[in-house]
Amino acid sequence: MNSPYTWIPVLLAVILSAVGSELDYDGWLRLRVWHALNKGPMPNFIERGNITVTSVRSGASTVAQAGLKSSELDELRKLAEDDREYRLKASVRGSSGTETTFFTSVPACLVLGSELEDFLTVWLDGAAEPVAVSLSSYGPCSREVPSTQMWTTEVQVRYPEAGPVPDTATYIQKLEREREARERGETKDNRSFLAKYWMYIVPAVIFVLLSSATNPEAGGAGGGGGGAQR
């Protein structure tokens, strides 16, 4: 009769293969991108461009976006001077047809310092569906108008990666060997002497302590009687 432990590696293999099939799925993504150059708490988004990720597995993409006008560069510079954020909105549609909107931002001074070079990262779940979009730019921080009006955008696709698989087979075999050894009585008790016999030692120590506490009283009484004799 097979032990129930033998079914655990089989179940793990089935689960890992199911997860792997989702991660290996290759789909596409379409992104519409807007940005806000105003300072107010309510962003005034204007269209920046469109991005198509032709393969979520390889991250291959095409980017189409217009450059900034002189007036828009001046607005971006004012955001940097006031230590404000450059805000972005991205609407992402995947192979399933579901469309989700995400918001992200980066300090405006970093966008200026990088000469309008930024990185847009799309985060996917195990089913290749978008769960987040993040914008980053690596500066340095600047408050000067850049020498270019054109965006340089790199699109990155990130999704869960399979972690290390535990060696369950070896562990289960170890459990089986220990169980068989216990059944045959071959398991050795490697505990120390105190760990094995503490339940006998403790009562004996308590008895000795109690005896030591009562003996001085008896000795004291006998000494008093002897002192009364002549």
Please give the pLDDT value at position 114: 96
Q: In this model, does residue 230 exceed pLDDT 50?
A: no
Say which DSSP state 165 is in.
P
| 158 pLDDT higher than 70 | yes
Residue 4: pLDDT above 50?
Answer: no
- Give me the residues paired with residue 52 across strands: 30, 62
Lowest mean pLDDT among 28-32, 99-103, 197-201, 225-229: 225-229
CB 133 within 8 A of CB 123: yes
Residue boundaries of the structural domains of the chain = 7-158, 168-219
The whole-number pLDDT of residue 2 equals 47
What is the reported pLDDT for 196? 65
Q: Kindly report, residue by residue over 124-151, the tens digit of the pLDDT.
A: 988 888 999 999 999 899 999 999 999 9
Instruction: Give the pLDDT band of residue 93 (cuts 50, 70, 90).
Output: very high
Ramachandran quadrant class, 59 (left: phi over 0; alpha: psi -120 to 50; beta: rest): left
Minimum mean pLDDT range among 2-11, 115-124, 131-140, 210-219? 2-11
Instruction: Give the tens place of pLDDT for each residue, 176-200.
Output: 777 777 677 655 666 676 666 777 7
Task: Give 19-75 pLDDT, tens digit per residue.
Answer: 443 445 678 899 999 999 999 889 999 999 999 999 888 889 999 998 999 999 999
Please, what's the b/e burial string for 131-155 (b: 16 or more CB within 10 A of its CB; e: otherwise)? Answer: bebbbebeeeebeeebeeeebebeb
For residue 161, which phi and psi values (nearest 5 degrees)? -110, 140
pLDDT, mean over the chain = 79
Residue 1 pLDDT exceeds 70: no
Average pLDDT over residues 4-27: 47
